[in-house]
């Protein structure tokens, strides 16, 4: 009996693109928002917190203030009281207050559609800025979260040294036109089929198809 052979990288890339498109042809944005500002705040709150929890908290925050002009007038303590369930509330509350004032002072109250300008805002790192560029402005970006970092390693698309390298590797492998949908598709697949507990690199459909000869769990580096 012939031993199954693992797919080559180009074959893995093509299969992953096609399979994820079949599963998630129009992946929804997981964080509820109505404009770039509310998305920016929601993504900031999602650091070390689940999207589900953020979506439970933000409606209460928007009742208090849903734009930079109103948010800048709210005492930091009041912001913190509402966002406490999201964790890291002191730092996040200060960041929300400060970035709101900066948007008023420097950007006419608008969220800039420039990743370098976004990364200058308090509490906004590269991943948060990339999410906003992708989901608010439709600009090609490939934000890498823990799901994407894990799956990219399981699928042999990166060595997983760090999220920065993982992002570079994925951008090099996949067409720019696919980035915005693909990063969401991988997140959903990671949650539903290839989670840290449910799959070890030998269980889910994509892992088994890409690596049919893999016998042992795939060790991955954490983000």
Q: Pick the closest to residue 142 from 193, 110, 178, 118 (CA basis).
A: 178
At 146 the pLDDT is 86
Report the chain's C-alpha Rg in angstroms: 19
Looking at the chain, list the stretches that DSSP marks H as alpha helix, in order from N- to C-terminal side.
9-23, 36-45, 51-64, 68-71, 76-83, 89-107, 115-118, 126-135, 146-154, 163-173, 179-192, 205-210
At 161 the pLDDT is 87
Q: Pick the closest to residue 183 from 148, 158, 133, 140 (CA basis).
A: 148
pLDDT band at 3 (very low <50, low <70, confident <90, very high): confident
d(CA 129, CA 36): 11
| pLDDT (tens digit per residue) in 181-193 | 999 999 999 999 9
What is the three-class DSSP state of 95? helix
First vs last C-alpha separation in the chain: 40
Enzyme catalytic residues: 127, 145
pLDDT band at 1 (very low <50, low <70, confident <90, very high): low
**Which pair of tokens denotes residue 22?**
């079949």
Please tell me the pTM assigned to this model.
Answer: 0.93
Q: Quick one: CA torsion of 155, 131, 98, 103, rounded to 10 degrees?
A: 160
| pLDDT (tens digit per residue) in 14-70 | 999 999 999 999 999 999 999 999 999 999 999 999 999 999 999 999 999 999 999
| pLDDT (tens digit per residue) in 117-175 | 999 999 999 999 999 999 999 999 999 988 899 999 999 999 988 999 999 999 999 99
| pLDDT (tens digit per residue) in 63-97 | 999 999 999 999 999 999 999 999 999 999 999 99
At 104 the pLDDT is 98
């Amino acid at each position: 009996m012939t031993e199954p052979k693992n797919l080559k990288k180009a074959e893995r890339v093509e299969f992953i693109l096609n399979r994820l498109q079949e599963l998630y042809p129009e992946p929804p944005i997981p964080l509820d928002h109505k404009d770039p500002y509310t998305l920016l705040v929601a993504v900031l709150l999602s650091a070390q917190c689940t999207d589900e929890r953020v979506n439970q908290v933000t409606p209460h925050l928007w009742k208090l203030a849903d734009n930079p002009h109103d948010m800048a007038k709210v005492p930091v303590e009041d912001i913190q009281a509402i966002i406490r369930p999201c964790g890291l509330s002191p730092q996040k509350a200060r960041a929300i207050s400060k970035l709101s004032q900066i948007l008023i002072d420097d950007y006419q109250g608008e969220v800039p559609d420039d990743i370098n300008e976004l990364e200058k805002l308090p509490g906004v790192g590269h991943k948060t800025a990339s999410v906003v560029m992708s989901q608010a402005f439709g600009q090609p970006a490939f934000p890498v979260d823990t799901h994407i970092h894990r799956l990219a390693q399981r699928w042999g698309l990166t060595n997983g040294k760090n999220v920065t390298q993982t992002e570079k590797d994925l951008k090099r492998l996949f067409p720019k036109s696919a980035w915005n949908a693909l990063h969401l598709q991988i997140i959903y697949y990671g949650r539903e089929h290839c989670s840290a507990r449910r799959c070890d690199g030998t269980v889910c459909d994509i892992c088994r198809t890409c690596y049919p000869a893999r016998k042992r769990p795939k060790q991955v580096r954490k983000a």
